[in-house]
Amino acid sequence: MSTIAGTTFLSEPVISDREFDLLLTELETLEAKHPEFEDPNSPTKRVGSGLTDQFEKVPHSRPMLSLSNSYNQDELQEWADRVQKETAGDCRFTCELKYDGVAIALHYQNGGLVRALTRGDGTIGEDITTNVRTIRTLPIQLSASAPDVLEIRGEIVLPFSAFDALNARMKEEGKKTFVNPRNTASGSLKLQDSGEVARRGLDCFLYGVELEGTDLTSHSEGVHAAQNWGFKTPLVLSNAFEVAMDVAGVMRYVNRWEEARHALPFAIDGVVIKVDETVHRNSLGATAKSPRWALAYKFETEQGLTRLKRIDYQVGRTGAITPVARLEPVFIAGTTVENASLHNADQISHLDIREGDLVQVEKGGEIIPKVVGVVLAERPDSSLVHVYATHCPDCGTALERADDEAKHHCPNALGCPEQIKGRIEHFASRKAMNIDGLGDKSVEQLWSSGMVNAPADLYQLSLAPLLTLERMGETKAGNLLAGIEASKAVPFERVLFGLGIRHVGETVAKRLARHFGSIEAMRLADREALLELDVVGPVIADAVLSFFDDEAQQRHLSGLIDSGLQFVGDVESKPQGTALLGKKCVVSGVFSIPRDEVKRLVEQQGGKLAGTVSGSTDYLIAGEKMGPSKREKAERLGVRILSEVEFMEMM
């Protein structure tokens, strides 16, 4: 038995470890002799089963959305007030910890674990069931009271003790140590050797029960039911899961864990506040990225003092130069920090940061370290003003800086090694082409060998040359080639993101792809056509035009087209009617159909959706329990209010 932060964990084995190990060995022998009786959920799977195959891509039953973030209590108060108005004050809030780990979706049938999926891109995840089965605190067989078919979501974490033990082992073996528990947990779950995953001591908390098809009517009921079915839920931690009847209760929870978090055996970076009742969740709905019924409150960042040894410079895939502070090690928010971002020349000048200074370092969002101040009283007399780099640290090209940009850039896009490798890594990344086995080390190896100098070169690789590379066996090479071949089916919007056009992020790429429908239509678009999209401004439009004007970029693009990638996609559907053509509509309240369906009908009839009522609003579509403030504002501004019946008649 152990106690942490007032929490008691029971550890009461009924047999000795030696007896347990002997029984496990006997079971392994029996399974080897009688493979016809092998069970994928056997206790022997807890220790891993050697190398796994390439991870299969599997669609989620429903999107795994991210949470909207708040960094101060005023924002949290505003969100809670808005939710209470939307639900006519008839809702409860659940309060729980925001684990700094890896989201997971688990599927059970007849009480047994059948599939474990990563978040992936939120729509499609990767099947890592073999690795997840090695986590000893995760049940692979549920109690008889569990539903026959169940999906539950939660978080996999790496406790501090396991992280420290792993780093000690890495150091002893002469290998590179890991930076923080969260990234280590994520990387561990993608290892090909599940036996190594089993050694790492991962833990998990499950809480997100899919309530459809059950008698459960709230999130809190789901968490308690999950505990009874055999899951490790937030309920095992004292005061870590609470139901608050009002905002005051939420604030008490937040304030308590702002301090209590330091005694936890794993990292958290905030708390999560959710609407409890399913009926209210359905009425509140979600945006394309986040549910409106939940909010993540991030804690204030932690700071530490340490000495700045030197300032180095890194080159990004777009040529952007980032200065990096190399620090004497300092422990902040659960991890040791040795490097921190200095952002740009203006930041260095503003803070007058110099090599040798004693500096204040904080972890923004508990993850990314940055230098935020200098202790001038401790500055050495020999200190010299830092002179910002004038040439690229990688290729030696003179740096440039546009008048309207904060960062310096290396203009040698097609000759700077770090930019070339960065573009290939970005192209192969999870949110772009998602090519398994093509991380930074593999890219470095392929580039150094001369096999790959641009993304299009990946599609010319073959087995024999790959086998000449160090540590590239037939299995690894085969998996890499299979991943490259599978990427040919990746949809156009992700291929477009993977091209790495400057300023074109994931969301902009998706909108461009769905608006134009093909790379050829984009190539022919002029500046005015690009600016028609609400997500495209002058900077993005100019970046897209520059990409298509660059002859070298077009040669690389032609190579990708010839390789058979998807450069044609679905054009976003045109309105099916004109009842609301050009009209700005706000949808609020509870309807007889899901609110998202009401919004879909608005768009089908040519309407434009808005989140708040303003003087430019044409219609407020009002359901039951709509907040009085929206109605009052609409009446004051003369906005026409439509009931659900009036709206449906108009449709």
- Written as six digits, the tokens of 164 are 């420290």
Q: Does residue 7 carry a pLDDT above 70? A: no
> Which amino acid is located at 326 in the chain?
R
- Written as six digits, the tokens of 540 are 């993005």
Which pLDDT belongs to residue 180? 80
| Higher local confidence (pLDDT), 422 or 89 | 422
| C-beta of residue 192 within 8 angstroms of C-beta of residue 67 | no
Which pLDDT belongs to residue 178? 82
3 state SS of 590: strand
Which pLDDT belongs to residue 22? 60
| C-beta of residue 116 within 8 angstroms of C-beta of residue 84 | no
Q: Does residue 602 carry a pLDDT above 80? A: yes
pLDDT band at 4 (very low <50, low <70, confident <90, very high): very low
CA atoms lying within 13 Å on the CB side of residue 299: 27
> Which amino acid is located at 296 in the chain?
A
Q: What percent of the chain has pLDDT over 90?
A: 55
Q: Does residue 52 carry a pLDDT above 50? A: no
From the list 63, 220, 66, the residue with the least C-alpha distance to 151 is: 63
Q: Does residue 590 carry a pLDDT above 90? A: no
Which pLDDT belongs to residue 346? 93
- Written as six digits, the tokens of 227 are 């505990």
Q: Which range, of 9-18, 232-241, 344-353, 630-639, averages the lowest pLDDT? A: 9-18
Q: Does residue 398 carry a pLDDT above 80? A: yes
Which pLDDT belongs to residue 454? 93
From the list 626, 619, 628, the residue with the least C-alpha distance to 651 is: 619
Q: Where is mean pLDDT largest: 12-16, 470-474, 521-525?
A: 521-525
> Measured between alpha carbons, how far is 173 from 444 in angstroms, rounded to an integer?
23
From the list 454, 456, 453, 428, the residue with the least C-alpha distance to 440 is: 428
- Written as six digits, the tokens of 199 are 């050694």
Q: Does residue 620 carry a pLDDT above 90? A: yes
> Which amino acid is located at 350 in the chain?
H
Which pLDDT belongs to residue 40? 59
Q: Is the dihedral of CA 464, 466, 469, 474 positive or negative?
A: negative
| 482 phi, psi to nearest 5 deg | -65, -40
Which pLDDT belongs to residue 51? 38
Which pLDDT belongs to residue 513? 92
> Which amino acid is located at 581 in the chain?
L
> Measured between alpha carbons, how far is 35 from 159 in angstroms, rounded to an integer?
35
> Measured between alpha carbons, how far is 466 from 338 in angstroms, rounded to an integer?
35
Residue 647 CB burial class (10 angstroms; 0-12, 13-18, ≥19): buried
pLDDT band at 222 (very low <50, low <70, confident <90, very high): very high
SS (H, E, C) 473-489: CHHHHHHHHHHHHHHHH
> Measured between alpha carbons, how far is 493 from 509 in angstroms, rounded to an integer?
6
Which pLDDT belongs to residue 12? 45
Which pLDDT belongs to residue 15? 53
Q: Does residue 259 carry a pLDDT above 90? A: no
Note the pTM of the prediction, 2 decimals.
0.54
Which pLDDT belongs to residue 3? 36
Which pLDDT belongs to residue 241? 96
Q: Does residue 565 carry a pLDDT above 90? A: yes
| Higher local confidence (pLDDT), 308 or 303 | 308
Please tell me what DSSP assigns to residue 624.
Answer: B
The question of whether 98 is a catalytic residue gets the answer yes
pLDDT band at 41 (very low <50, low <70, confident <90, very high): low
| C-beta of residue 287 within 8 angstroms of C-beta of residue 278 | no
| C-beta of residue 121 within 8 angstroms of C-beta of residue 59 | no
Taking residues 157-185, report their average pLDDT.
87
Please tell me what DSSP assigns to residue 398.
Answer: B
Q: Does residue 132 carry a pLDDT above 50? A: yes
From the candidates 45, 57, 98, 363, give the one annotated as an active-site residue: 98
Question: What are the structural domains of the chain?
Answer: 17-298 (3.30.470.30), 303-378 (2.40.50.140), 417-489 (1.10.150.20), 492-562 (1.10.150.20), 584-650 (3.40.50.10190)
> Measured between alpha carbons, how far is 389 from 315 in angstroms, rounded to an integer?
12
Taking residues 358-385, report their average pLDDT.
84
Contacts of 588 (CB under 8 A, 6+ apart): 86, 620, 621, 622, 623, 626, 627, 630
Which pLDDT belongs to residue 2? 36
| Higher local confidence (pLDDT), 8 or 604 | 604
3 state SS of 330: strand
> Measured between alpha carbons, how far is 280 from 86 in angstroms, rounded to an integer?
9
Which pLDDT belongs to residue 39? 64
Taking residues 24-52, report their average pLDDT.
59
Per-residue CA distances from 367 to 262, 313, 363 (Å): 16, 20, 5
Which pLDDT belongs to residue 292? 92
What would the pLDDT profile of 519-540 be if each residue is shown by its tens digit? 999 999 999 889 877 678 888 9
Q: Does residue 129 carry a pLDDT above 80? A: yes
pLDDT band at 591 (very low <50, low <70, confident <90, very high): confident
What would the pLDDT profile of 243-253 be if each residue is shown by its tens digit? 999 999 999 99
Contacts of 19 (CB under 8 A, 6+ apart): none
Q: Does residue 21 carry a pLDDT above 80? A: no
| C-beta of residue 318 within 8 angstroms of C-beta of residue 500 | yes
| Higher local confidence (pLDDT), 43 or 229 | 229
Q: Is the dihedral of CA 421, 427, 430, 434 positive or negative?
A: negative
| Higher local confidence (pLDDT), 466 or 614 | 466
Tokens 């989140």 belong to residue:
611
Q: Does residue 599 carry a pLDDT above 70? A: yes
Q: Average pLDDT, whole number, for the chain?
A: 87
Q: What is the dihedral of CA 589, 594, 595, 599, to 10 degrees?
A: -150
